[in-house]
Amino acid sequence: MSKAPAFLCLPYTRGQAALTEPLNAAIIAVMAAEQKPVNILGIETSCDETAAAVVADGRQIRSSVVASQNKLHEKYGGVVPEIASRAHIENIYPVITEAMAQAGIGKDDLDAIAVASQPGLTIALVVGITAAKTLSFMWGKPLIAINHLHAHLQSAMLSEERLELPAVALIVSGGHTSLYEANSPLDLRLLGSTMDDAAGEAFDKVATILKLPYPGGPNIERIARNGNPKAIRFPHPMLGRDSLDFSFSGVKTAVLYYCRGQDMKGENRIDSMSEQEIADIAASFQAAVTDVLVKKTKRAADKIGARTVLLGGGVAANGALREAMQRMCEKSRPPRRMLVAPKPYCTDNAVMVASLAYYKYKAGLFAPLMLEASANG
């Protein structure tokens, strides 16, 4: 294992937090007069991707570097927090260096340092936060704390200059499934969230049941293309006529019982199933989850009178979900516009962090050097 970069090991004291106060005041004083692009370095280490990016004025992507850990976690069938953290420590300095090099800028060209500080794996978040705080202090740049979930929505708005509001926003990923009312990039109101397994987590667990490779989501989608989505009637949990919350543990368990018998008292039939049978299970499971996500989003959109639907997060890369959500928007009266994150920016990345940070920068919303990681958010 390579030695941790020196800048990750610098001492930090509470007294340094006071240094950000005159720095922030100076930044706010000159912002109105600035004519040059606002360049922000974004850093993301909330789970198993080490990422850094430079984005100008919230939209112009000058660089994006992501170090994936899929190979490290593949044999475990999921993310191992300790392994993720160690990999972040090894990757963070090279990734930041490469992002700056790709952007063709130096520290003097940066206006702020942004970092995902919540939610996520604390042991992973702390690596990116430590790097961001250190660079903020060493380079004399303001620090901006970003909510990882809110940043996923920014991915869907990267190329949109005039957003029709209000919007309903669905974030669907491995760890979270949440609905928001969005009135601006900084004005989000939570409408509903997952009560147990998130959609992406259910995809990964069902992939494990079906003995598919990690990561599970893309492999479920791949084999589902050859399956019949109506072959098996798995539960479509709506949780009541007005609920905007989500629950996918039941449909995951239904798949498990289908393959191994009620209460897992039967034999595991996966090894004896044909490829078509497994494809039918995958397609029927995917259809059940997609149906719930689309219907809940429509329910939320109807409730708030949304003119736009935003879709972000890792599961937003799923083609069946994108198509079903688009059909729902087109059939709405009046039709709604759907904005979905480009596939490269559905999974964790730092472009979304730096992009959202631009709006916090313009609003003067800076973080102290006392910033800490939070698993929840």
Q: Is 376 contained in some domain?
A: no
* Residues 308 and 183 occupy one common structural domain: yes
Distances (CA, A) of 163 to 57, 101, 183: 16, 32, 9
Inform me whether the pLDDT recorded for 8 exceeds 70: no
pLDDT of residue 374: 93
Q: What is the mean pLDDT of residues 105-120?
A: 97
Inform me whether the pLDDT recorded for 85 exceeds 90: yes
Q: Are strands 39-44 and 49-56 parallel, antiparallel or unpaired?
A: antiparallel
* Residues 63 and 169 occupy one common structural domain: no
CB of 41 closer than 8 Å to CB of 99: yes
Q: Which of 292, 293, 282 is nearest to 225 (CA)?
A: 282
Inform me whether the pLDDT recorded for 203 exceeds 50: yes
Calpha distance 81→280 (Å, rounded): 33
- Three-class secondary structure of residue 66 per DSSP: strand
* Residues 198 and 141 occupy one common structural domain: no
Q: What is the mean pLDDT of residues 48-57?
A: 96
CB of 350 closer than 8 Å to CB of 151: no
pLDDT of residue 120: 93
* Residues 190 and 215 occupy one common structural domain: yes
Q: Is 368 contained in some domain?
A: no
- The neighbour count for residue 140, using CB atoms within 10 Å, is 15
Inform me whether the pLDDT recorded for 324 exceeds 70: yes
Q: What is the mean pLDDT of residues 81-107?
A: 96
Q: What are the strands, taking DSSP E only, across the chain? A: 39-44, 49-56, 60-68, 112-118, 143-147, 167-172, 177-184, 187-193, 308-312, 337-340
Q: Which of 73, 107, 62, 144 is nearest to 357 (CA)?
A: 144
Q: Is 144 contained in some domain?
A: yes
Token digits for 236?
A: 């479509």
Token digits for 334?
A: 């009046």
* Residues 129 and 267 occupy one common structural domain: no
Specify which residues 118 forms β-bridges with: 147
CA angle 9, 139, 120 (to 5 degrees): 55
* Residues 137 and 169 occupy one common structural domain: no
- Residue 282 φ/ψ, nearest 5 degrees: -60, -45
Q: What is the mean pLDDT of residues 227-233?
A: 96
Q: Looking at residue 185, which CATH number applies to its domain?
A: 3.30.420.40
pTM: 0.86
pLDDT tens track for 343-362:
999 999 999 999 999 999 99
pLDDT of residue 41: 98
Residue 45's domain comprises 6-154+348-362
Specify which residues 192 forms β-bridges with: 179
- Three-class secondary structure of residue 246 per DSSP: strand
Inform me whether the pLDDT recorded for 265 exceeds 60: yes
pLDDT of residue 24: 60
* Residues 177 and 147 occupy one common structural domain: no
Q: What is the mean pLDDT of residues 167-186?
A: 93
Q: What's the total number of domains in the chain?
A: 2
Inform me whether the pLDDT recorded for 372 exceeds 60: yes
pLDDT of residue 316: 95
Q: What is the mean pLDDT of residues 258-265?
A: 80
Total residues belonging to the chain: 377
* Residues 185 and 104 occupy one common structural domain: no
Q: Which residue has the higher pLDDT, 56 or 271?
A: 56
Q: Is 68 contained in some domain?
A: yes
CB of 75 closer than 8 Å to CB of 2: no
pLDDT of residue 282: 98
Q: Is 69 contained in some domain?
A: yes
Q: What percent of the chain has pLDDT over 90?
A: 75
Q: Which amino acid is at 253?
A: T
Q: Work out whether the CA dihedral 230, 232, 233, 239 comes out positive or negative.
A: negative
Say which range, 68-72, 165-169, 216-220, has the weakest mean pLDDT.
68-72
pLDDT tens track for 10-40:
433 444 444 555 556 555 555 544 578 999 9
pLDDT of residue 300: 97
* Residues 318 and 211 occupy one common structural domain: yes
* Residues 171 and 146 occupy one common structural domain: no
pLDDT of residue 12: 38
Q: What percent of the chain has pLDDT over 70?
A: 90
Calpha distance 281→259 (Å, rounded): 9
- Three-class secondary structure of residue 184 per DSSP: strand
Q: Which of 291, 259, 297, 260 is nearest to 278 (CA)?
A: 259
pLDDT of residue 262: 79
